[in-house]
Amino acid sequence: MGFETVGFVSWRAGSFDGRTPYWEIGIALLPEYRGRGIGWRAQAVLTTYLFEHTPVQRIQAATHPENIAEQKALEKAGFRLEGVIRGCEFRAGKLRDGYLYSRLRDDPEPELGNGSVTGAR
């Protein structure tokens, strides 16, 4: 059985007050692998891993307001929308808003199920 690279997940450290760390996660999938449940599961598994192996209480992720698929993926991965980050990114010639999501250590973990992520669309 071989493995294919379908995208990647990333994480970086942050802190609002300089003392209380959090992780911010991100994901990118190749277009042909989107819509199969890979993304939300990858984000859920990464979040669980970070909670199990680091002492942080918070993991967050940001997305664009027009990225409905990522918003649904984050919610399925157990994240909650916190709010709009106004004018946070200069893209396509103007300042754009972002949406900030988070999952706290004591939030419920999502049910990963046993659905296949390798099936054809």
pLDDT, tens digit (0-9, with 9 covering 90-100), for 17-54: 999 999 999 999 999 999 999 999 999 999 999 999 99
Quick check: helix, strand or coil at residue 31? helix
Residue 1 pLDDT more than 80? no
Residue 118 pLDDT more than 60? no
Determine the Cα–Cα distance for residues 54 and 62; give it in Å rounded to an integer: 21
Residue 4 pLDDT more than 90? no
Q: Report yes or no: 61 and 25 within 8 Å, Cβ to Cβ.
A: yes
Percent of the chain past pLDDT 70, that is, above it, reads 93
Q: Provide long-range contacts, Cβ within 8 A and 24+ apart, for 48-53.
A: 48/109, 50/11, 50/23, 50/25, 51/105
Q: What is the mean pLDDT of residues 79-108?
A: 96
- At residue 112 the predicted structure's pLDDT band, cuts being 50, 70 and 90, is confident
Does the pTM of the predicted model rise above 0.85?
A: yes
- At residue 119 the predicted structure's pLDDT band, cuts being 50, 70 and 90, is very low
Residue 65 pLDDT more than 60? yes
